[in-house]
């Protein structure tokens, strides 16, 4: 293992400490715990609060989407490990502003269990909590079993739309509906070229040949749908879009938001080569790109690879996607 860190066991904590030191005007620790991060500003009374969380190692996913027009708080776990229910509960209480809390997170067993327990604790305090899970990874379960799919980079879109809905002072039921509608209209497919190394493990999460790639691999190294020889970018994009559009057809004249996401060690140049092909394919199909996001939005430490996400839009979702937002890792003007 070759990393620029201190002690492996301090990796997650020191990451959060560095982020707070750099962005103390926007984020703060709750009760001094690095597991609990909330917005630094004052709460807006009567606004629905959005709570998220998950393991470290995925920046900017989870923590990076706490800010104006996005989430209100996040619970942070160790690398690739769920945070505790107690920490989630404390974050929920801190961000609650009288209108309830939406739990918005990825579909992973440990997170489901712990967020579920936090929800029960909140309800004992008369805090209403709803939950929406990201299930955008089409490689992780077949069509018809969407509830089994993993939540990956497409969560960005749900943070964006639900966060905008909350800023408009919509009710908890409406914000929850928007989040669920967004997740239901989002699909992602990834490809990995190399593994990553969890600092405390000190070894690669999986092995893959120097001339191989795995299509559909998850952000923790979960198996994909095909391991094959390295292919040209255009072929890779074609395969990924074919899988996405077969699962979520978009009619000619339809609109989408596009996310081309790097996993941690993919040069930005390669992501733009990918977007070039995405644009070509969608133009050929008569599908309009309403907004595009190209860069690192959901990582996996130093894994080389990328993912493509599409959000199928209607007028309601397009307006919410366009709304302004601001966090230390993601800013958009109207």
Q: What is the DSSP letter of 83?
A: P
Confirm if 313 and 320 have CB atoms less than 8 A apart.
no
What is d(CA 84, CA 116) in angstroms, rounded to the nearest whole number?
A: 11
- Catalytic machinery residues: 58, 220
Find the Cα–Cα–Cα–Cα dihedral 17, 78, 182, 196, rounded to 10°.
100
State the burial class of residue 160 (Cβ atoms within 10 Å of its Cβ: 0-12, 13-18, 19+).
Answer: buried
**Per-residue b or e along 249-269, where b marks 16 or more CB atoms closer than 10 Å to that residue's CB:** ebeeebbbbbbbbbbbbbeee
What is d(CA 80, CA 84) in angstroms, rounded to the nearest whole number?
A: 13
What is d(CA 242, CA 59) in angstroms, rounded to the nearest whole number?
A: 28
What is d(CA 94, CA 100) in angstroms, rounded to the nearest whole number?
A: 12
């Amino acid at each position: 293992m070759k990393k620029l860190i201190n002690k492996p066991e301090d990796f997650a904590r020191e990451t959060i400490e560095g982020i707070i030191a750099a962005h103390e005007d926007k984020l703060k620790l709750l009760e001094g715990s690095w597991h609990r991060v909330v917005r630094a500003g004052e709460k807006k009374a009567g606004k629905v609060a959005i709570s998220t969380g998950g393991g470290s190692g995925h920046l900017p996913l989870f923590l990076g989407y706490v800010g104006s027009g996005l989430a209100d708080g996040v619970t942070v776990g160790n690398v690739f490990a769920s945070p505790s229910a107690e920490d989630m509960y404390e974050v929920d209480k801190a961000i609650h502003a009288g209108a309830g809390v939406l739990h918005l997170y990825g579909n992973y067993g440990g997170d489901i269990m712990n967020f579920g327990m936090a929800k029960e604790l909140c309800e004992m305090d008369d805090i209403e909590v709803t939950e929406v899970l990201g299930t955008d990874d089409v490689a992780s379960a077949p069509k018809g079993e969407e509830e089994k799919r993993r939540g990956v980079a497409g969560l960005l879109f749900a943070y964006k739309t639900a966060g905008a809905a909350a800023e408009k002072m919509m009710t908890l039921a409406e914000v929850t509906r928007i989040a669920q509608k967004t997740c239901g209209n989002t699909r992602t497919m990834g490809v990995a070229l190399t593994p990553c190394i969890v600092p405390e493990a000190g070894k690669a999460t999986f092995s893959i040949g120097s001339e191989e790639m795995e299509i559909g691999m998850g952000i923790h190294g979960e198996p994909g749908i095909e391991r094959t020889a390295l292919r040209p970018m255009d072929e890779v994009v074609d395969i990924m879009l074919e899988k996405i559009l077969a699962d979520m057809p978009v009619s000619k004249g339809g609109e989408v938001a596009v996310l081309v996401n790097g996993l941690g060690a993919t040069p930005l140049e390669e992501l733009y080569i990918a977007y070039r092909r995405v644009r070509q394919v969608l133009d050929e199909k008569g599908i309009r790109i309403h907004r595009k996001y190209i860069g690192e939005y959901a990582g996996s430490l130093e894994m080389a690879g990328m993912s493509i996400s599409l959000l199928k839009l209607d007028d309601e979702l397009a307006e919410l996607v366009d709304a302004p937002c601001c966090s230390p890792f993601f800013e958009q003007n109207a």
